[in-house]
Structure 1
């Protein structure tokens, strides 16, 4: 079974579906590599109008990193290698020349919330949970999520989401400004795509021109900030508090 399914929709919209519902669409090295391949495709194809990320199933958009793999990483260097790879991917996703949408079909926590942050728009199913829960594992965001979030939300609201490590309802996340649109469970997929198409009514050149305005701002230091954030997470990764928190989580 393919871990990532890429589908071309109408009007130049491409969907990237995380296809690991049995483990809540968690991210491993294979998924990272397929993300990279897709981004290469987008950058080289002018007919792409928008890119959409969604999770398979009804339960989870993405739970973050695949802990069955990543909990084997014990040292700072081991952690940094993995974290910086995904952090670079999310930076490049932010810099894609087309508008990007996270369609949160289910829970988006931890690294899944960081993936959603990298997108320009976040559409959430009513009643799901969203949160930067990394603090409960005694680490910070590890893929650059804090640096990205601080670019997109007012400072106090971003810091609240990060420091509280709380699981917010989609309605609460909407009030904070993290979620762009809430859609009811009935006809969720169809209504989400209706919102996407309404948002990108302009032609491709106009969409890319507007996106480039923001990219030009992000190019000035964002990647360096993300890598510094990731380095700090890697330092915390090898500490006993994190290793014990992960062990407790896996045994719960």
Structure 2
């Protein structure tokens, strides 16, 4: 599929989606959000894709925020619709994909960019990364899940401070907070993400999808995560992957998971 604002390429089980608006520091506009939705959806449905990596083009930015010019004149109703549609199309959509998504955070991840990174299943940052939610400096709050996911990842107090000051933290501070899992050089960012992705790809994609669902359930209001875990654990026993995984273990050989 051809896109105007992103690039998507599958190689050896890894689909890399690159936001490709370097002259706009890869800012998210409505068209880019729609294209990202389509690319994530296609990768998730592709049997060859075991892991998705999302990153930004160039060396300066993962995503430097939303395209403010698109909504500067919106009213209350339009603003609410913007947040609701964006969360449904991209941010909640990514979080709930059954295919694991790694954010390779290169450079600035601000506003909607950090919200996209937080919607991914985990994050790896380059040492030049700067992360923050500066929305209150524009008279608005994060609207793509930032007020919910940031406290889940770094704790309420730290999230309150970061959001209220509209400040940025560097990659090492993000690592200390637990906002990112690893920090590396810009040159090694994608190779490290691919190394982790290859480790993930060796395991059962069906079981990984079930684990994502169970883990996410713990953060959903009114949902008992333990009950979801029990259900998903039981469901695994009816899969071809479970049969292959247990047979391979007992036969002392490497498993060749069919993904079913």
TM-score using structure 1 length: 0.79
Confirm whether residue 87 of structure 1 aligns to residue 87 of structure 2: yes
Between stretches 30-39 and 41-50, larger displacement belongs to: 41-50
Of 29-38 and 121-130, the range deviating more from structure 2 = 29-38
Query: Residues of 1 paired with 2:213 and 2:70: CA distance?
Result: 36
Max radius of gyration: which structure? 2
Offset at residue 215 of structure 1 (A): 3.2
Instruction: Map 1:182-193 onto structure 2 (within 5 A).
Output: 182-193=183-194
Q: CA RMSD in A?
A: 2.1
How far apart, in 2, do the equivalents of 1:155 and 1:119 lie? 20
User: Aligned equivalents of 1:217 and 1:184: distance in 2?
Assistant: 33
User: Alpha-carbon deviations, 1:137-165, whole Å to 9, x = none?
Assistant: 12211112111223333332333332232
The corresponding residue for 2:149 is: 148
Name stretches of at least 5 consecutive residues in structure 1 with no aligned partner. 223-252
Task: Say whether the 8 Å CA contact 2:14–2:197 is kept in structure 1.
Answer: no
Per the alignment, residue 225 of structure 1 pairs with none
Distance in 1, Cα, partners of 2:185 & 2:33: 30
5 Å-filtered alignment, 1:68-147, equals 68-71=69-72, 73-88=73-88, 89-147=90-148
1:31-50, Cα deviation, whole Å (9 max, x unpaired)? 12112222332443444312
Q: CA deviation at 1:130?
A: 0.8
Partners of 1:146 and 1:201 in 2: how far apart? Answer: 34
Using the TM superposition, give the Cα deviation of residue 219 of structure 1 relative to its aligned residue in structure 2, in angstroms: 4.7
Pair 83,218 (structure 1): closer, same or farther in 2 beyond 3 Å:
same
Aligned to 1:32: 33
CA distance in 2, matches of 1:200, 1:175: 27
User: Across the two proteins, how many residue pairs are aligned to each other?
Assistant: 220
Tell me: CA distance 1:76–1:217, structure 2 relative to 1, closer, same or farther (3 Å): same
Q: 1:3 to 1:133 in 2, by over 3 A?
A: same
Following the alignment from structure 1 to structure 2, what is the Cα–Cα distance between the partners of residues 189 and 42?
18
What residue number does 2:61 align with? 60
Higher relative contact order structure (alpha carbons within 8 Å, sequence separation ≥ 6): 1
Quote the residue 2:254 is aligned against.
none
Distance in 2, matches of 1:160 and 1:122, equals: 21
Secondary structure of 1:64 counterpart: coil
